[in-house]
Amino acid sequence: FASKSLPLTAQISTFAGLNLRRRTFTTITAAMGDDSGMDAVQRRLMFDDECILVDENDNVLGHDTKYNCHLMEKIEKDNLLHRAFSVFLFNSKYELLLQQRSETKVTFPLVWTNTCCSHPLYRESELIPENALGVRNAAQRKLLDELGIPAEDVPVDEFTTLGRMLYKAPSDGKWGEHEVDYLLFLVRDVAVNPNPDEVADIRYVNQEELKELLRKADAGEEGLKLSPWFRLVVDNFLFKWWDHVQKGTLNEAIDMKTIHKLI
């Protein structure tokens, strides 16, 4: 309400300012659609993080918000494709660490997936192309963010970058993924302290235990769901690469020349 003690011109100015703020708020709300229920942490990440836009040959084209990069409307209309990574961390018993994504995640909440999945950001340290150092820097950052694993426990030089795949996957009617995904392997015994904003649960599995999880997911048992990118890696690469991990011959599996198109 305008104050009666203010001159008329000041009252008009006050109303104008209030109306401008209302219009601005309305415009922002409309642009965000039905995102009012988005978790505050996820909202910050969606609007603050700038993903790296690439073409199908993984050449950098520019950048856009994580929000825009995951809108299926933008993916389909503008063919937005961004760079991503998937970390597969094994302990000294060659068991793979899996995580269940948090319930508050915007895309694919509560699905089970590999150790850590995220995006290098459009910043100098994560754009370094030599030996995918920028991607490995991003992976180290997110292992701390998501799982509480300090950088010194996962040195970037210890990551093996095995290959890249290009895929597209809808999450629901609004959100989805369209990524050139770098596949990173690491064998380390680490202490894990999951961030509940990112991770609902974790577990280590051997090959037979993972096959049982796949069976349950395929049968729809226990409401178990796997992320589409994890399933693509499992179906196309994981078990043969896992054998290389156990034999100590992982370098024989590296192929960074090919981008496997799994759409």
> Out of 50, 146, 177, 179, which one is annotated catalytic?
179
Q: Which residue type does 143 have?
A: L
Please check whether residue 258 is in contact with residue 163, taking contact to mean a CB–CB distance below 8 angstroms.
yes
Whole-angstrom distance, CA of residue 71 vs CA of residue 64:
11
The pairing of strands 112-113 and 50-54 is unpaired
Residue 168 one-letter amino acid: K
Q: Rounded CA gap, 94 and 37, in Å? A: 40
Single out the residue of 158, 27, 159 nearest to residue 87, CA to CA. 159
The half-sphere exposure of 47 on its side-chain side, counting CA atoms within 13 A, is: 10
Number of residues written out for the chain: 263
**Gap between the Cα atoms of 164 and 180, Å rounded:** 6
Tell me whether residue 179 is one of the annotated catalytic residues: yes
Question: Which of helix, strand or coil describes residue 130?
Answer: helix
Token digits of residue 15: 């109303």
Q: Which of 117, 146, 177, 198 is catalytic?
A: 117
Annotated catalytic sites, by residue?
A: 117, 179
